[in-house]
Amino acid sequence: MTNTKYLKSINEEAFSLLMGEECKLKGSGGYLMASISEEQKKKADLGVGELFLAPVGRIPEESITSYFCNNCNQEFKSSPKVSYENPNEEVAENMKLAEKGMYLCTNCESSIGEYREFQKS
Ligand SMILES: [Zn+2]
């Protein structure tokens, strides 16, 4: 059965899921407004009614529309600078720290939030 109209609406749905919706993600020094996927949103949701940056992993700069820096007490309509490294260090048996990084305010260089990405080895 081929129904192109049906297929098109499925594609649009998949597209919007892929692009995600804009969410507020809290870090230790402010927050980001970014488009994240449903899967990332689940990771960010620690069950206290807010979304957190740390468990999501690196969010590409093009997905970040704005951020708030607590140190500057100001909102910026751009992405903070993402600084990261890939230590690949063994933190437990069968588990390594694949990447750690932070989002830095482009104005004052203080950290908006940090993240860690673990990988089973
Ligand atoms: Zn700042």
Q: pLDDT by residue (tens digit) across 45-59?
A: 999 999 999 999 899
pLDDT at 6: 61
pLDDT at 14: 58
CA angle 39-41-45, nearest 5°?
125
Domain count, the chain: 1
Ligand 1 centroid distance, CA of 104 (Å): 8
Residue 95 to residue 93: CA distance in whole angstroms: 5
Ligand 1 centroid distance, CA of 1 (Å): 56
Which two three-digit tokens encode residue 10? 């499925």
pLDDT at 9: 62
pTM: 0.79
- The SS3 assignment for 12 reads helix
Read off the pLDDT of residues 64-100 as tens digits, 9 standing for 90 and up.
999 999 999 999 999 999 999 999 999 999 999 999 9
Range of the domain at 73: 3-120
